[in-house]
């Protein structure tokens, strides 16, 4: 054992010495951006317009431009954009490095209000210029603050096509790492005057560890309308809610179905795909993608929109899934035309015919050609529908395929589905056995309550019929009538449901405070909170002991959590607003501030500069107005509020709210470091 270990160490040392002698980077073979099977496959499919295939392959081999998106719902988004244009972009346009003029960042023409920009600057060039290095530091700090998101350009498309409104209930089925989720949250908060939009986002991912990337994204945006859950999207639980005093099914107004895929559209940034890509990847993923999409439309409300997207160009993962979904729906789903929604975006229409190729190079155009030995790997839903009339009615040309060489992006596929009617399966009311006893026979379907406490997702409709929309939410579950009569003799019914197994890390509980909780007495008087402050929406993460951190959620998410705590694994919800010492936290300042009516000090720009450049400035350092306000307050947590002066455009033109502490003779603002860059203010040294 020892001899083998010493020999291994000797070999490793020899290898390391060899690399050291060969110079930096030696010993790591450069990945060659070639894959003959990939080129042959996409050439044969004809997805790229004639005469453009060489440009397509050339673009695939080029590095992907860096793209940033300014957080749209923040009240200071315009201030950030103004700072970028005036402080950085203008100077970068005149910058030269090694005799070469630097191309300044350019806006994405199809993204609204100049809120997204891309740049081709490499890290090597950034290191050569102090100005570019400063610009890079600005981007990093603003990303941490949630003011800017670094996100691939094509990844921004699906949320825009969903057409989010503040009242929408949204499900993000495969959400990690969370850039699209962040976009959805921003759209919910389009009106910053409303701290609690009626809508919410439930972000889900099957990977427990990747879910914590979602949590990180959620914390950056400080929204009370976000919940992060950990489930397999293909069988994500149906959720119940209280509606007008009755139990009801939660159907979503908008669903983002960004499914796992082979990722051949990401070759520009994920270099590994070049050597790992085969056609088998798509064949293995097609079934999972279809199951996730089916589960999505089951939970979609009639009239709602679901966006299906992949970062793959392969029709097996794209049009084949959409065609199978439309065929299963029997007219309940319709492909929407999104061509006018993003003016300026270049895209190719979806295809109506495609072939399938194995990794050995064998082509199949129809299911009938597939040998029985391959039936487990290749399925009928992977091929286009045979009926020309049915195929024409699907309007697959409304799907959108983004090719990398058209606008210097990654490859992407997106389709918008609108639900016109409930899905066709499980519409029939369940039949009871004929030998029902007289006692059980008296219990007619009309007497069944609206929804059983233990029901997985079925609802009884008036007149004794089960509504198709409610029943489809859990196609494999038992019907309400069956469940309500299972305990009676002589009635056929399903076995009792097993308790759901939860995997991954064990989470602390989410415990809502009662309205008479002692913690509110002190907070109410200290901050003079409005009578309409939603006490019941405040929660903590412990049943016993000190309530060290208080969180706030919207009433709609409270409804969801209270009715489904046993059937879903929740990792994070809401926004942290305060500590057990009743100090307001900067994360929750925008949520709490509308309800606070005391402990507020109105400050000027000069006051903010003093607070940020001095460690613990004396009260006398503030301007006269702020000084007199501070003297009237006792020690403790405070809110510092800046209101812009439209007559002085040189000052920040967006409201600023900070939390702080009023000491015995001094005052302090609690802000993270990124605040200094945002408003072009000097930082404390």
Residue 666: CB partners within 8 Å, gap ≥ 6? Answer: 616, 617, 618, 619
Pairing of strands 400-402, 412-419: antiparallel
The DSSP result for 87-149, as a single string, is IIIHHHHT-EETTEEPPPPEE-TTSGGG-EEEE---HHHHHT-HHHHHHHHHHHHHHHHTSEE
Token readout for 307 is 């966006």
Pairing of strands 400-402, 348-349: antiparallel
Helix H, strand E, coil C: the string for 41-67 is: HHHHHCCCCCCCHHHHHHHHHCCCCEE
Cα–Cα distance for residue pair 440/459, rounded to 1 Å: 20
Query: What are the binding residues for S-adenosyl-L-methionine?
Result: 174-180, 205, 232, 258
Q: Is 399 among the catalytic positions?
A: no
Of 416, 417, 415, 403, the closest CA to residue 153 belongs to 403
Of 634, 577, 630, the closest CA to residue 600 belongs to 630
Alpha helix (H) residue ranges in 535-632: 555-564, 589-592, 605-613, 624-631
Cα–Cα distance for residue pair 101/92, rounded to 1 Å: 9
Per DSSP, 429 falls in state P
Beta bridge partners of 228: 203, 572
Task: Let me know if 232 is exposed, middle or buried by CB neighbors in 10 A (0-12, 13-18, 19+).
Answer: middle
Of 172, 195, 196, the closest CA to residue 184 belongs to 172
Query: What are the binding residues?
Result: 174-180, 205, 232, 258
Continuous segment of H or E residues that includes residue 329: helix 319-329
The answer to whether 396 touches 47, Cβ cutoff 8 Å, is no
Pairing of strands 252-258, 169-172: parallel
Residue of 211, 225, 257, 311 with catalytic role: 311
Q: CA dist 554 to 218, 252, 290, 539, Å?
A: 15, 16, 33, 11
Tally of CA atoms within 13 A in the half-sphere of 653 that contains its CB: 12
Alpha helix (H) residue ranges in 330-423: 388-394, 404-407
The answer to whether 65 touches 120, Cβ cutoff 8 Å, is yes
The answer to whether 589 touches 246, Cβ cutoff 8 Å, is no
Q: CA dist 599 to 350, 583, 603, 608, 636, Å?
A: 58, 11, 13, 17, 9
The answer to whether 107 touches 114, Cβ cutoff 8 Å, is yes
Tally of CA atoms within 13 A in the half-sphere of 306 that contains its CB: 31
Of 475, 124, 165, the closest CA to residue 299 belongs to 475
215 three-class SS:
helix
Q: CA dist 628 to 619, 633, 659, Å?
A: 9, 9, 18
Terminal Cα distance for the chain, rounded: 57
Active site (catalytic) residues? 311
């Amino acid at each position: 054992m020892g001899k083998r270990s010493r020999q291994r160490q000797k070999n490793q040392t020899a290898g390391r010495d060899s690399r050291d002698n060969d110079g930096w980077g030696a010993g790591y073979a450069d990945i060659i951006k070639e894959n003959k099977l990939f080129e042959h496959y996409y050439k044969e499919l004809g997805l790229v317009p004639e005469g453009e295939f060489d440009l397509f392959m050339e673009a695939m081999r080029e590095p992907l431009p860096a793209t940033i998106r300014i957080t749209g719902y923040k009240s200071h988004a315009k201030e950030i954009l103004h700072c970028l244009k005036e402080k950085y972009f203008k100077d970068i346009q005149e910058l030269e490095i090694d005799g070469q003029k630097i191309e300044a960042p350019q806006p994405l023409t199809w993204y609204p209000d100049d809120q997204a920009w891309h740049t081709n600057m490499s890290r090597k060039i950034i290191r050569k210029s102090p100005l570019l290095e400063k610009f890079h530091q600005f981007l990093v700090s603003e990303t941490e603050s949630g003011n800017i998101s670094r996100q691939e350009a094509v990844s921004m498309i699906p949320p825009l096509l969903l057409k989010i409104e503040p009242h929408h209930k949204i499900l993000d089925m495969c959400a990690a790492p969370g850039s699209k989720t962040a976009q959805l949250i921003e759209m919910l908060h389009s009106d910053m005057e409303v701290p609690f939009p009626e809508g919410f986002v439930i972000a889900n991912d099957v990977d427990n560890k990747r879910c914590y990337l979602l949590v990180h994204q959620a914390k950056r945006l400080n929204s009370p309308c976000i919940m992060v859950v950990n489930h397999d999207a293909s069988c994500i639980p149906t959720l119940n809610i209280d509606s007008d005093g009755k139990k009801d099914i939660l159907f979503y107004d908008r669903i983002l179905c960004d499914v796992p895929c082979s990722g051949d559209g990401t070759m520009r940034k994920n270099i590994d795909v070049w050597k790992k890509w085969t056609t088998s990847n798509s064949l293995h993923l097609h079934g999972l993608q279809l199951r996730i999409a089916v589960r999505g439309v089951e939970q979609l409300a009639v009239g709602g929109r679901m966006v299906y997207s992949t970062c793959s160009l392969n029709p097996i993962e794209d049009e084949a899934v959409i065609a199978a979904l439309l065929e299963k729906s029997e007219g309940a789903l319709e492909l929407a035309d999104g061509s006018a929604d993003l003016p300026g975006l270049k895209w190719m229409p979806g295809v109506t015919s495609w072939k399938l190729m194995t990794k050995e190079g064998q082509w199949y155009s129809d299911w009938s050609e597939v040998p029985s030995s391959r039936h487990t790997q290749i399925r009928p839903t992977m091929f286009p529908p045979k009926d020309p009339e049915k195929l024409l009615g699907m309007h697959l040309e409304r799907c959108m395929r983004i090719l990398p060489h058209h606008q210097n992006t990654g490859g992407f596929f997106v389709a918008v589905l609108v639900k016109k009617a409930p899905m066709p399966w499980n519409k029939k009311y369940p039949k009871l056995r004929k030998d029902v006893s007289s006692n059980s026979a008296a219990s007619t379907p009309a007497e069944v309550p609206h929804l059983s406490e233990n029901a997985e997702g079925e609802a009884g409709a008036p007149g004794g019929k089960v509504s198709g929309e409610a029943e489809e939410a859990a196609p494999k579950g038992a019907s309400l009538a069956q469940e309500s009569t299972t305990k009676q003799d002589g009635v056929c019914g399903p076995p009792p449901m097993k308790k759901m197994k939860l995997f991954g890390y064990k989470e602390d509980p989410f415990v809502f405070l009662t309205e008479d909780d002692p913690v509110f007495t002190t907070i109410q008087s200290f901050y003079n909170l409005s009578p309409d402050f939603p006490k019941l929406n405040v929660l903590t993460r412990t049943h016993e002991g000190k309530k060290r951190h208080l969180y706030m959620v919207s009433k709609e998410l409270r409804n969801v959590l209270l009715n489904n705590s046993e059937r879903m694994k929740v990792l994070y919800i809401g926004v942290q607003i305060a500590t057990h010492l009743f100090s307001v936290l900067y994360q929750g300042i925008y949520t709490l501030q509308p309800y606070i009516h005391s402990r507020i000090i109105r400050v000027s720009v000069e006051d903010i500069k003093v607070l940020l450049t001095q460690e613990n400035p004396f009260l006398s350092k503030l301007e006269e107005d702020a000084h007199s306000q501070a003297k009237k307050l006792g020690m403790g947590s405070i809110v510092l509020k800046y209101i812009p002066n439209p007559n002085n455009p040189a000052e920040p033109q967006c409201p600023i709210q900070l939390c702080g502490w009023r000491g015995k003779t001094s005052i302090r603002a609690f802000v993270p470091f990124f605040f200094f860059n945002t408003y072009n203010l000097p930082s404390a040294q």
